[in-house]
Amino acid sequence: MKNYFLLVFAFLLFSCADKKSVDAQPRKPKNIILLIGDGMGLAQVYAGMVANGDALNIERFKHIGFHKSYSSDNIITDSAAGATAFSCGEKTYNGAIGVGTDSLPRETILETAEKKGFATGLVATCTITHATPASFIAHAKSRKLDEDIALDFLKTDVDVFIGGGKDYFEKRSDSINLLDKLKANGYGIATGDAEILAFTGNKLAGFIAPLQPDSATGTRGDILHKATQKALDIVSKNPQGFFVMSEGSQIDWGGHANKQTYIIQEMLDFDKAIGKALDFAEKDGNTLVIVTADHETGGFAITGGSIAERKVQGEFITTHHTGVMIPVYAYGPGAEEFQGIYQNTDIYHKMMSLLGLKK
């Protein structure tokens, strides 16, 4: 009997000690990988899941929340204001790239991370000057200013960027060759998938297309997960840590086109990149992976289909974006911070605080 009480006492002591460590400050990540599926609402995720045999890498996340995506001037955000909320922590007007409602620049998480000695990277399946990646490194009153946005890639020492839009760097109306300037700053320039994947240096400007890359249903191939892995190979050399944003850019375009096959193929392509990020984070143990979208596109709904036949019957309510709440999936140290319902701008604040960064 005496032994029994001792055992109970020991158990209580242990469980209290255990509880204390669990309730303590969340463990901080050294690295953050932010994956953005542009235009990816719940129906887009689920359509991909059904088409893939009722399974996706995104199911590996255990901490899930929702963000409110509205911009400063509209219940329905665009990708520029949506990404600026993540990169700068402020709601701004639709079309704004890394600027506030006053059109003045705000320092982005990528710029702060770079200044503080972190390695940084950007990957996208659109032009690298397009709204989502641009909002992490550039400051422009309008998302349409691609050539101005390209100039901003010379102002921050981002370690790697991979996407389309090479023409905005070398075939410019001002005749300035930004590729020469990038080379002078120590970048290797890689054009096309093979050159990008063969790159072994420390600073990479990788271009997968002169302007917009093709779709996943077309000729683009499966560069997104490979480019994401390449970016991780480069930035993970930095012992201090890294911040990488990788975008499945064209889920949105499938939504605008009201083409569900386009959405599904882009979703499956993006999910492979999610798989690479999770594999890295599982092995590393110090990496937080966050997957979210800026907004939903198309008002896509699943109105029929078959799990057994992997078939989706979808319908659309608009060719534009919609204003629904957007899921956020998190894995790794600090992932529990992303549970609940919060503003899109809180994703910036949570990431900054977890990396121990201040503007």
Contact footprint for Zn ion (CB under 5 A): 252
**Cβ at position 148, least distance to Zn ion in Å:** 21
Measured CA to CA in angstroms, residue 313 lies from 44, 106, 160, 184, 259 at distances of 12, 43, 39, 52, 11
Q: Which token pair is 259?
A: 């083409």
Which of 69, 71, 79, 215 is flagged as catalytic?
A: 79
Interhelix angle 260-284/42-51, rounded to 10 degrees, is 90
From candidates 94, 212, 249, 250, binder to Mg ion by CB under 5 A = 249
Would you say 31 or 92 has its CB closer to Zn ion?
Answer: 92
**Cβ at position 273, least distance to Mg ion in Å:** 14
- Provide the mask over 74-93, with x wherever binding to Mg ion is found by CB under 5 A and - wherever it is not: -----x--------------
> Which burial class, exposed, middle or buried, applies to 41 when counting CB atoms under 10 A from its CB (0-12, 13-18, 19+)?
buried
Choose from Zn ion, Mg ion, none: what does 346 bind? Cβ within 5-8 Å by kind.
none
Choose from Zn ion, Mg ion, none: what does 132 bind? Cβ within 5-8 Å by kind.
Mg ion
Residue 147 to residue 127: CA distance in whole angstroms? 11
Residue 338 to residue 158: CA distance in whole angstroms? 26
> What residues contact residue 313 under an 8 Å CB cut-off, 6+ apart?
302, 303, 304, 305
**Cβ at position 274, least distance to Zn ion in Å:** 20
Choose from Zn ion, Mg ion, none: what does 120 bind? Cβ within 5-8 Å by kind.
none
User: Residue 145 carries which DSSP code?
Assistant: -
Would you say 264 or 335 has its CB closer to Mg ion?
Answer: 264
From candidates 71, 120, 127, 132, binder to Mg ion by CB under 5 A = 132
- Where is 64: in which H helix or E strand? strand 63-68
Tell me if 39 sits within 8 A of 262, measured CB to CB.
no
Choose from Mg ion, Zn ion, none: what does 258 bind? Cβ within 5-8 Å by kind.
none
Choose from Mg ion, Zn ion, none: what does 212 bind? Cβ within 5-8 Å by kind.
none
Residue type for 120, please? T
Tell me if 44 sits within 8 A of 251, measured CB to CB.
yes
Would you say 112 or 249 has its CB closer to Mg ion?
Answer: 249
Would you say 50 or 209 has its CB closer to Mg ion?
Answer: 209
Interhelix angle 79-88/344-355, rounded to 10 degrees, is 30
Would you say 251 or 268 has its CB closer to Mg ion?
Answer: 251
Counting contacts by CB under 5 A, is residue 215 touching Mg ion? no
Taking alpha carbons only, the member of 300, 287, 285, 283 closest to residue 37 is 300
79 catalytic? Reply is: yes
From candidates 33, 34, 38, 56, binder to Mg ion by CB under 5 A = 38
The binding site for Mg ion (CB under 5 A) comprises 38, 79, 132, 249
Just list the catalytic residues.
79
